[in-house]
Amino acid sequence: MSEAEAVEAAAVWSANILTILTIYVTFTFGYLVTAYFVGARLTPFQTLVVSGLYLSAAVLTILSAIGYTQAQVKILGSVPTVLDDVYLVTSGELWITYLGIMMPLGLVISLYFMWQIRHPKKK
């Protein structure tokens, strides 16, 4: 693979990663809005279904984002490119670590938010 092909392929993988992140943020926002406005009125079964669907979708996008980032790192690492000197932006370890912390943390916080809505503190 030539340098130009590697850079082009890495750009395609970057676009895929950004699309995955956009999808993740969109349905996380949808889950949080649902939790806020109707979470307290959902039946236990409805809460289980909504949270289960959210959990499944979030885990799939997290795995996809990390996998796509690993693929991009392999592509850029296979050929020396002009991007080698731009360490912070192209550092695969940085992005894999960041995505591996940020996305699961958002998942856990979202599920906890639903739990808080369904179990308000008594005053």
Walk along the chain (123 residues) and give the pLDDT tens digit of each residue: 777 887 788 788 889 999 999 999 999 999 999 999 999 999 999 999 999 999 999 999 999 999 998 988 888 777 776 666 665 555 677 888 999 999 999 999 999 999 999 998 877
Q: 47: which 2 tokens?
A: 């809460």
Separation of CA 112 from chain center: 17
- Please, are residues 26 and 57 in contact by the beta-carbon 8 Å criterion? no
Rounded Cα gap, residues 40 and 56, in angstroms = 22
Global pTM? Answer: 0.84
Rounded Cα gap, residues 113 and 36, in angstroms = 8
pLDDT at residue number 95: 85
Q: How many CA atoms lie within 13 A of 39 on its CB side?
A: 20
Give CA separation, 50 vs 39, 45, 46, in Å: 10, 9, 6
pLDDT at residue number 77: 77
- Please, are residues 118 and 43 in contact by the beta-carbon 8 Å criterion? no
